[in-house]
Structure 1
């Protein structure tokens, strides 16, 4: 099972084919282990398949939940906008997460549930299946866009990783991708794949969406995958689309357009090991001069 910190994070499934029931995170956190040396964890399979769903988000919540499976974008069950979050928020477990739990069990898959607005103890959270959002998206670009998640949502306070038979995965939501420290900590914890459900807009998306993924992939020698909603120009918040998979050499392995789509890519852990061997940045860091400090697990 996956351990997370107070009430913000949740566990979707312990693994394919097992009882994929949601359970609340424990109230107390275990002490954080020291950072391990970054090495490729040997698994039974060197390559596995990854799918990202770029959904066309509807104002009808039940429609959004019905089409959801595999890997989903940010706020997949709700139109994106602070005015919608209170109306579409739900407890966990609830309608959306119970559907995802059922799909994971029936299909014997690992399912990253994008994120949904979660109501807990009178507060709203932008919550992934195993992750409560750390950084809230507040932006003010004169003449283009103003958006403040902090008016509606509360930030999370813990990291989220989980193990599969293939590799260790680190999770973030959208704006988290701008904080290099998060990706560095995940790499130090042994993650080989970082997944970000996100919804960059038409101002930040063309400028930064792919660039941030490539920089994290190269700097941390990991695969990076992002799942965005499809673009819908008539909504109050227009997502840029372009769900993407990037490898540690900065190569874009798969990329959606702006319409609803499913993106498939192979994650080749042998190639990852080769890159880390050819450019051994983790072994050559000068820890006597600098270090990344993690204050909470």
Structure 2
């Protein structure tokens, strides 16, 4: 089945995992009713809490997470592939894992991925983020097979690191993903161009569900969940920051066509990078 319907669920997660799960369940059901075979939720679907201490009080091991407990039987009931963009779960070492889960129509976890790149930055508007103080970074890129395509898993800030996506494309991924909780400031500046760039340079679809709006913990995220085709065209977008869902038809034959027209992966060559020595008075 080279074609399937993909959906993004846009959330505005708060501090209570069970409440976030209830909201997400309703939106997932709506997307499935509209015909979605693959449904993706955003980064930190289960909880958004800025305080490390409060976060640690509200999260649990994956086996006890309310969002995952909702998602697994729901995937079976609806007969869908459910990609939980990420959950904050206890990593077992005093830190937290920002972990994505791919759940099959049988309810089994087919793959999981821990966010590799940590967002440590001081923004001009006064916001400061130190993800590495709380989260344990992942150390492996992950691709997994859906019944209808090969999918690469990534999370939010990873979208700024092209090597992950190129590695996944080389491994046969036709669908790349970037579920996110982009801040409004960085989203307005970079969200669309980053998604389109990853699609164009790899000749792949990019599917990225997003958090959006003013959250209970005081942060504000950009929203604008979107799906980009292998030519870099945005084929579906939520042009707002409100909770909801969007759908698009995905035809994996378009990946083949794009990679034939621009065979960037096939044309890659190994090379070294050298720093040129100062000419020391010589003229060219």
TM-score range, shorter chain: 0.7 to 0.9
Aligned residue pairs total 246
State the match for 1:32 in structure 2.
none
Taking only aligned residues, the RMSD between alpha carbons, in angstroms, comes to 1.8
Q: Does 1:71 align with 2:40?
A: yes
Q: Does 1:266 align with 2:246?
A: no
Greater per-residue helix proportion? 2
- 1:268: how far off? 1.4
Which of 7, 10, 15 is the matching residue for 1:59?
15
Q: 8 Å contact 2:184–2:221 — kept in the other structure? A: yes
Q: 8 Å contact 2:174–2:204 — kept in the other structure? A: yes
Task: Work out the CA distance in 1 between the residues paired with 2:73 and 2:266.
Answer: 42
State the match for 1:107 in structure 2.
78
Q: 8 Å contact 1:131–1:172 — kept in the other structure? A: yes
Task: Work out the CA distance in 2 between the residues paired with 1:143 and 1:75.
Answer: 23
Unaligned 5+ segments in structure 1 are 1-44, 292-297
State the match for 1:46 in structure 2.
2
- 1:243: how far off? 0.5
Runs of 4+ in 1 over 3 A off after TM superposition: none
- 1:234: how far off? 6.2
State the match for 1:207 in structure 2.
189
- TM-score using structure 1 length: 0.78
Per-residue CA distance 1:52-99 (angstroms, 9 max, x = gap): 100132333211112323321111111242434312221011222121
Task: Work out the CA distance in 2 between the residues paired with 1:142 and 1:229.
Answer: 21
SS in 1 for 2:190: helix
- TM-score using structure 2 length: 0.82
State the match for 1:3 in structure 2.
none
Q: 8 Å contact 2:16–2:58 — kept in the other structure? A: no
Q: Does 1:135 align with 2:125?
A: no
Q: 8 Å contact 2:50–2:217 — kept in the other structure? A: no
Unaligned 5+ segments in structure 2 are 29-38, 102-111, 274-284
Task: Work out the CA distance in 2 between the residues paired with 1:290 and 1:284.
Answer: 16
Which of 96, 99, 102 is the matching residue for 2:67?
96
Task: Work out the CA distance in 1 between the residues paired with 2:51 and 2:186.
Answer: 18
Q: 8 Å contact 2:14–2:49 — kept in the other structure? A: no
